[in-house]
Amino acid sequence: MSTTSGFTKWKEEHPDLWEFIKFNGLSQISTVVRFVLLWILAPLFVSGLGLTEPFHFAFYNYDTAAGGVGIFLATIITEVIAQTVNFFVQMKWVFVSDASFAQAAWKYVLLSLLIIIISGFAPSYISAWANSIGWGAASSTLSAVFNTIAATIVAYPLLKFWIAPKSK
Among candidates 100, 18, 118, which has minimal Cα distance to 59?
Answer: 118
State the Cα–Cα distance between residues 116 and 35, nearest whole angstrom. Answer: 16
> Per-domain residue ranges for the chain?
9-96, 97-167
Judge whether residue 1 has pLDDT over 70: no
- Other residues' Cβ atoms within 10 Å of the Cβ of residue 77: 14
The DSSP symbol for 97 reads -
User: pLDDT by residue (tens digit) across 80-133?
Assistant: 898 899 999 999 999 988 889 999 999 999 999 988 888 767 766 777 788 889
State the Cα–Cα distance between residues 68 and 25, nearest whole angstrom. Answer: 33
- Other residues' Cβ atoms within 10 Å of the Cβ of residue 86: 25
Reported pTM: 0.78
